Chains A and B, each alone.
Chain A
Amino acid sequence: MTIQEAAKYTVERAMKSGADQADVYLESGRESTVTVRMGELETLKQATSKGLGLRVFTGNRLGFAYTSDFSKKSLKAFAKRTVEMAEEITSDPHNVLPDSTKKDAYPDLGLYDSKIAEIPIDWKIKTAKKMEETTFAYDKRIVNSSGASVYDGELEAVIANSLGIFHTYKTSSCTLVCSPIAEENGKKESNYWYTSKRFFEDLESAEEVAEKAAFRAIRMLNPTKPKTQVVPVVFDPQMAASFIGIIFYALNGESILKRSSFMVDKLNEKVASGKFTMIDDPLMKRGIGSQPIDDEGVPTNTKTVIDAGKLKYYFYNAYSAHKAGKKPTGNARRGYSSTPSVGAWNLYLKAGEMAPEEIIKSVDNGLYLTRTMGWGVNMVNGDISRGASGLWIENGELTHSIGEATIAGNLLGMLKNVSMVGNDLEFRSSRAAPTIKIDDVTVSGT
């Protein structure tokens, strides 16, 4: 059986075993890793794997199970057992599949490059070595390495349900990562940089990645601990991208219904500065986060989530949409071993007009944030407190590096205090943002 047949067969067996509705999400993939460290090949890993998750609804009771055993006999027994399992569960009227919104054709977003599978292993080893060599040549203070790696993989997914949805698609990706360690006065600083693309031809060069990684490690040497104070904080594009990811997470319709998000009761209200426009675009060509159909079979579309500061959407999968009396938003995400949650596709902050240098120049005394640590985000009330490192800004110039510090505030307050947005938006992953400045953030140190 092909994986497509396995998905169809499992839905059929679930229905024959007594389910009212059923859906299958299946993934089959190949992964490969080559890691080099200190000039020597360190790790070679390669494998294929697969799995499918089956949801069944019987009398609005939900049963869920997953397996990687795709033999016909096993799938038949598996489907039957999943239906039986649902019978133990409380009935909930919101346990339904999304109404069929089947389209005849979905746009081809260019998510698969057949060249990825053909990358010769020698090229991978050579490229990883080249990255490491480039970091050592960049500065004599780069003395050690956590390694340089080339990852590549392909994934084929199938979404099938008893309402007639059947969609299958393939994606590919390749990632180069380099992790140098700089050392001075007996103190070490590690950092990394990467490039990750769906198409081989879109990858940045080994040299570019490595030089950026080395630059990022070197500039963090000899950190000092800042004074505790309330200052403007400039988020570099990585940190700004991570920030918008947290904001999106608070817009999950299910958290809103349960009043466990700081974004509750905020729809159509101004939640951020007028400079803040956040967009989720599932249809970006070759996008790392692109998908024409969500993981419950609902077509996806582009949404301006926060428009010049005004909140326009909460996000729903079939369950939470039914409960809220809304339509699913096409944001259902899942792996084969779990039921659908809600997630963004390519989420980005719309670029502003200022060059990042101008933003830094506008700060007399503040932090240029390049890294956060830890889990200190309270999604219920929006309080945030995280480990922070970066560079201190004095009179508009980046000066020395900063370590052993924290930043703290409340996310709603921080959104309103976004006072500048840069023009340096670049799509490196499925979250992207330009440099931003947020006023009045507490930095703790000495």
Chain B
Amino acid sequence: MNAEKKDNSGLSRRDFLRHSATGAAMVMTAPPIAALMMQSKDALAKAVASSEAQLDKKTISKLLEIALSQGGEFSEVYIQYTINSSLQLEEERIRQANYGIVQGVGIRVLNGAQTGYGYSDDFSFDSLESAAKVAAFIANQPDSAKHPAKIVPRNYANVNPIGIYPDQVAVKQKTDLLYRANDVARSNDKRIIQVDASFADSVSMFTIANSEGLYTTDERVLFRMNVSVIAEENDRRERGYHGGGGRLGFNHFETLTPEILANEAVRQATVLLDAVDAPAGPNEVVLGNGWAGILLHEAIGHGLEADFNRKKTSLYTGRIGEKVASELCTVIDEGNIPNRRGSLTVDDEGTPTRKNVLIEDGILRSYMVDRLNGKLMNMELTGSGRRQSFKHYPMPRMTNTYMMPGESTPEEIISSVEKGFYAKSFGGGQVDISNGNFVFNVTEGYLIENGKVTAPVKGATLIGIGPEVLTKVVMVGNDFSLDQGIGNCGKNGQSVPVGVGQPHVKISEITVGGTAVAGASMTG
């Protein structure tokens, strides 16, 4: 997960094939400032109806049938229509307006542990039939081909009720938010030399149908606003960033105002102007609340996704019922918290989302399970089957992952540390599933000396081993908070929006990747 737009992977977008097949590296990054939507529910339905992005139930049933024609066990049709829009302010002007439509159909066939997948951005029957045949090809017993069950429409109460839809908002209302952020940031501190602000929304309509008779539609709205500033003083420059949003209405920005976002970005950038080198080596570390939940996402979340456990590639394989964390830790993945960035009414396989207790008082209780792995592992579906778009097949993924509050106050936690590191704001993280090594990047940290937060320090990466770090959680705060709605999670080249949360947490020891080595001097 990352709080900034960044692509220094060295692989260009143009490289048509993704080099992401290692299956080992899971990254959370902030989304590129892109996704935004522009239609209210009625307008969206109208837009879908006037586009070619629709299929009647008869066509869907036909495709499900063709997909099973080679003897596959299960077939599924996934139809997407998304409108993205965004506005960007740079150097005190609206630099550009972006608008785009993503539409297409993905067809999947499952046969044991095998997946066949075809997709098309063209809604002509010939193209769709060809996608269905590609998917069907994974199976090889045409003589035993089954017929799909009759599809029966079923819809669920919307987990993410929307107040004001994107298209009910004039462009000027959005640009006003950006100008407010700009003005506040620049007037707040004269050391601010750059302000970038962006506003993005997206509205999607999905239809998911499968050969077991499921047919459901889902509408998804996503808003996001970001503010990024650069402060400069004595030839030193630092960035500050803040953003937020979720699956909610435009009215959210009456609460999460541009002033709040801008002030926080300015605060971070200006604090960092005085930062000293971060410590290097093992430290007692206090993590802030909210977005710090990236710790959970990386340290255990990915390791509890069902695919890695079925394939026995995770460190948590076969450990349900065992103690994997300190008894202070109860960790949840909950896809049906209203209006959060990681929340969904149904997952991308049409399964309603729910609250899944992953770790209860330190004991491993559950994995996150999609359809393919649920069947093979004989486990209940947890509403965790997610995908980036119609071009991708689903995988077990997180939604909103958080740690339940404990009893300590944040003050008690800080004052219990004689010498340590306080991590307040965070960038991105990554994990290697097989050996458990995970990192997350602190963008704003402080020294703790004699129970007091003292000097700000430069950004540093924290590294640990997932199952070990959770056994070192020695204090859990009572100030639980979810993040502001900025996270994206990447897995095998697929990116999905997610949320995290936690209270203040103290870890007895974790390695801090700074440059200040006790007794050594640094060059460069």
Enumerate chain A interface residues (CB-CB to B < 8 A). Answer: 29, 31, 35, 37, 40-51, 53, 62-69, 71, 81-82, 85-86, 88-92, 144, 146-147, 149, 151-155, 171, 173, 175, 177, 179, 181, 187-192, 194, 196, 220, 223, 225, 228-230, 241-242, 245-246, 249, 258-260, 264, 288-289, 333-335, 337-339, 343, 373-381, 383, 385-387, 389, 403-410, 412-414, 416-417, 429-431, 440, 442, 444-446
- Asked if B439 lies at the interface with its beta carbon under 8 angstroms from chain A, I say yes
What are 10 contact pairs spanning A and B, CB under 8 A? A153-B17, A188-B315, A196-B17, A259-B194, A333-B12, A338-B98, A376-B461, A406-B512, A409-B524, A446-B511
Min Cβ gap A85→B in Å is 5
A192 to B434, CA, bound (A): 13
Q: Contacts A175-B17, A288-B15, A440-B522: A89 and B230 contacting too (C-beta < 8 A)?
A: no
A71 to B318, CA, bound (A): 53
Q: Contacts A171-B16, A380-B230: A375 and B434 contacting too (C-beta < 8 A)?
A: no
- B434 with A181: CB separation less than 8 A: yes
Residue ID in chain A nearest B312 by CB atoms: A144
- B461 with A85: CB separation less than 8 A: no
Question: For B501, what are the chain A residues with a Cβ–Cβ distance below 8 Å?
Answer: none
Q: Contacts A404-B511, A429-B10: A373 and B25 contacting too (C-beta < 8 A)?
A: yes
- B232 with A194: CB separation less than 8 A: no
Min Cβ gap A257→B in Å is 9
A-facing residues in B433-454 (Cβ within 8 Å):
433-435, 437-441
Residue ID in chain B nearest A194 by CB atoms: B19
- A173 with B101: CB separation less than 8 A: no
Question: For B115, what are the chain A residues with a Cβ–Cβ distance below 8 Å?
Answer: 42-45
Question: Which one of B131, B437, B459 contacts A389 once the chains associate, using CB atoms below 8 Å?
Answer: B437
- A190 with B434: CB separation less than 8 A: yes
Interface string of B83-100 (1 = CB under 8 A from A): 000000011011111111
**Which of these binds chain A: B276-284, B321-329, B337-345, B475-483?**
B276-284
- Asked if B464 lies at the interface with its beta carbon under 8 angstroms from chain A, I say yes
- B93 with A92: CB separation less than 8 A: yes
Indicate the member of A245, A333, A381 with the most B CB atoms within 10 Å: A381
Question: For B430, what are the chain A residues with a Cβ–Cβ distance below 8 Å?
Answer: 373-375, 387
Question: Which one of B22, B29, B120 contacts A192 once the chains associate, using CB atoms below 8 Å?
Answer: B22
Q: Contacts A373-B25, A385-B459, A404-B511: A40 and B441 contacting too (C-beta < 8 A)?
A: no
- A43 with B230: CB separation less than 8 A: no
Question: For B440, what are the chain A residues with a Cβ–Cβ distance below 8 Å?
Answer: 374
- B435 with A408: CB separation less than 8 A: no
Question: Which one of B8, B51, B232, B517 contacts A246 once the chains associate, using CB atoms below 8 Å?
Answer: B8
Residue ID in chain A nearest B118 by CB atoms: A47
**Which of these binds chain A: B147-155, B198-206, B234-242, B360-368?**
B234-242
A46 to B116, CA, bound (A): 9
Indicate the member of B172, B278, B313, B438 with the most A CB atoms within 10 Å: B313
- B21 with A404: CB separation less than 8 A: no
Q: Contacts A189-B434, A380-B239: A258 and B230 contacting too (C-beta < 8 A)?
A: yes
- A374 with B439: CB separation less than 8 A: yes
- B19 with A444: CB separation less than 8 A: no
- A404 with B393: CB separation less than 8 A: no
- Asked if B117 lies at the interface with its beta carbon under 8 angstroms from chain A, I say yes
- Asked if B244 lies at the interface with its beta carbon under 8 angstroms from chain A, I say no
A-facing residues in B285-310 (Cβ within 8 Å):
none
Question: Which one of B103, B433, B517 contacts A229 once the chains associate, using CB atoms below 8 Å?
Answer: B517
Enumerate chain B interface residues (CB-CB to A < 8 A). Answer: 2, 6, 8-19, 21-25, 27, 29, 32, 34, 51-52, 90-91, 93-104, 113-121, 131, 134-135, 137-138, 171-172, 175, 193-194, 230, 232, 236-239, 278, 280-282, 311-313, 315, 391, 393, 427-430, 432-435, 437-441, 458-461, 463-465, 511-515, 517-518, 520, 522-524
A71 to B427, CA, bound (A): 42
A149 to B138, CA, bound (A): 15
Question: Which one of B29, B137, B282, B511 contacts A375 once the chains associate, using CB atoms below 8 Å?
Answer: B29
- A50 with B194: CB separation less than 8 A: no
- B103 with A68: CB separation less than 8 A: yes
- B522 with A381: CB separation less than 8 A: no
- B281 with A446: CB separation less than 8 A: yes
A228 to B522, CA, bound (A): 13
- B121 with A187: CB separation less than 8 A: no
Question: For A67, what are the chain B residues with a Cβ–Cβ distance below 8 Å?
Answer: 100-101
- B280 with A444: CB separation less than 8 A: yes
A71 to B122, CA, bound (A): 10
A51 to B14, CA, bound (A): 13
- A385 with B441: CB separation less than 8 A: yes
A220 to B119, CA, bound (A): 39
Indicate the member of A40, A241, A335, A404 with the most B CB atoms within 10 Å: A404
Question: For B17, what are the chain A residues with a Cβ–Cβ distance below 8 Å?
Answer: 31, 151-153, 173, 175, 196
Question: For A154, what are the chain B residues with a Cβ–Cβ distance below 8 Å?
Answer: 16
Pick the 8 closest A-B CB pairs, nearest first.
A413-B524, A406-B513, A146-B23, A375-B428, A245-B10, A228-B281, A374-B439, A387-B439
Question: For B239, what are the chain A residues with a Cβ–Cβ distance below 8 Å?
Answer: 260, 378, 380
Min Cβ gap B500→A in Å is 16
Min Cβ gap B479→A in Å is 26
A68 to B105, CA, bound (A): 12
- A66 with B116: CB separation less than 8 A: no
Q: Contacts A223-B435, A376-B439: A50 and B121 contacting too (C-beta < 8 A)?
A: yes
Question: For B193, what are the chain A residues with a Cβ–Cβ distance below 8 Å?
Answer: 259
Q: Contacts A42-B113, A89-B94, A375-B430: A333 and B13 contacting too (C-beta < 8 A)?
A: yes
Question: Which one of A192, A223, A416, A430 contacts B21 once the chains associate, using CB atoms below 8 Å?
Answer: A192
A251 to B282, CA, bound (A): 35
